[in-house]
Amino acid sequence: MPKSFKTFLKHTAKDFHNQSVNPPVVRASTIIFKSMKHIRRTQIKAKKNPTGGHFDYGRQGTSTTYILQRILTKLEESYHVFTTPTGFGSVFLAIFSIVRPGDEIIVSDPVYSPTRILTQDFLKQFKIKTIFYDPNNLKTLKDSITKRTKLIFVENPGSNSFEFQDLGKVISIAKKNKITTVIDNTWATPYYFKPIKFGFDMSIVSATKYYSGHSDVMGGSLAVNKKVFNKVKIAEKMIGLRLGPDDAYLITRGLRTLDVRLDRHSENAKKITEFLSKNKKIKLLYPYKKNSSNFRMWKKYYSGASGLMGLKIKAKNINSVRKFVNSLKLFGYGYSWGGFESLALHQEFGETGNRKFMKLAKDEHLVRLHIGLEDPSDLIADIKQALKHLK
């Protein structure tokens, strides 16, 4: 890999055999061989080198999916990267690989709502207990550990509420107690933070977001270290979670400009925060305030910030908050984020999940903004006219 992340993204995966700057899309259910001898040789190679892209059946992947895995493995600086049909598929694969009936899992309180439902409700049916900890008070994590604890699941920053926790302390606690760790790193991607290199056992990224960058594909990645590789490999084989070649191609194409897009998302977001920080009705949920704990924890571990932020708006009239959001002209309304376009969502309290440690006053309301690649001055003008509706 070249010294520069940026250079690597532009020069990787060229196909000189077909004289194409991008790899071909190879679709296959049957992987065809010239002879049975050839099949057996491939199977032997796969056993000797399980990360080497030696396939004997289409569910295992094709050269197109393998190329993406190879790129992401280098970006993550991990032992291997598994790819799944959705980001949430990677969440499920990570947990399913490690946890069994009778085990306990400790989860960061402000996780993605579907992750909360999976751990809190679905796993309960299989006699797996979930305990939530406060990311702002890691004593709640330490005190929750028992002999049955098998996994610590971190999402950083917190979904919608954007708490940044002390990741070094989380890893220290986990290693001391010999507990497997996984982090949802979708907000930062390995461009801004490399969890496996830092000490996590597994790292999730929703490839639907910044990897793709164009809001037209679903996918997920699960980077792993060597310690957990075999467990994840077995689980992946049993449940058949596999990204298709067409989506793999689109994600590979999107990765070429990941650095350029994230740099611009970050620049635009910084300008938006500078504007919004002057409004007394809004508390920004984004690492911009240098004397805040959130900023210190972000600065300690991350090399940059992406375009997703939260606004905690103080308003007696909830309808004025809804009117503020609905008056935005350049922000689309929809779930997901990480594409080229700006998006806005008014987050009803129930949408954040049944949080144990997050409290909102009656006059406090959450709005999530994804700052896209538009001209920031246009976005600021749009937000400015919409703010007039806040009461």
What contacts 178, CB < 8 A, 6 or more positions away? Answer: none
Supply 211's token pair.
């990897």
Q: What is the pLDDT of residue 2?
A: 59
Are the CB atoms for 141 and 170 separated by under 8 Å? yes
Closest to 84 measured CA to CA, from 97, 62, 107, 65: 65
Which residues on neighbouring strands pair with residue 344, listed in sequence order? 333, 369
Q: What is the pLDDT of residue 102?
A: 97
pLDDT tens digit sequence for 70-117: 999 999 999 999 999 999 999 999 999 999 999 999 999 999 999 999
pLDDT tens digit sequence for 278-325: 999 999 999 998 888 999 999 999 999 999 999 999 999 999 999 999
Q: Using alpha carbons only, what angle is made at residue 64 by residues 62 and 67, rounded to the nearest 5 degrees?
A: 110
Q: Classify domain 5-96+142-153+176-255 at the CATH topology level.
A: Aspartate Aminotransferase; domain 2 (3.40.640)
**Is there a shared CATH topology between the 5-96+142-153+176-255 domain and the 258-387 domain?**
no
Q: Report the C-alpha gap between 158 and 187 in whole angstroms.
A: 9
Q: Enumerate the domain spans of the chain.
A: 5-96+142-153+176-255, 258-387
Supply 142's token pair.
């330490």
Angle between helices 226-239 and 87-98 in degrees, nearest 10: 110
Angle between helices 318-326 and 376-387 in degrees, nearest 10: 150
Q: Report the C-alpha gap between 155 and 163 in whole angstroms.
A: 9
The residue with tokens 């571990």 is 301
Closest to 80 measured CA to CA, from 46, 44, 52: 52
Q: Classify domain 258-387 at the CATH topology level.
A: Aspartate Aminotransferase, domain 1 (3.90.1150)
Radius of gyration over every alpha carbon of the chain, rounded to an integer in angstroms = 22
Q: Report the C-alpha gap between 118 and 96 in whole angstroms.
A: 11
Mean pLDDT by 10 residues, the chain (391 residues): 78 77 88 93 91 88 94 97 97 98 97 95 96 97 98 97 97 98 98 98 98 96 98 95 95 96 98 95 93 93 97 93 96 95 88 80 93 98 96 83
CA atoms within 13 A on the CB side of 304: 19
Following DSSP, what letter does each residue of 159-170 receive, concatenated? TTT-----HHHH
Burial class (CB in 10 A: 0-12, 13-18, 19+), 109: buried
Q: Report the C-alpha gap between 28 and 125 in whole angstroms.
A: 37
Q: Report the C-alpha gap between 344 and 197 in whole angstroms.
A: 33
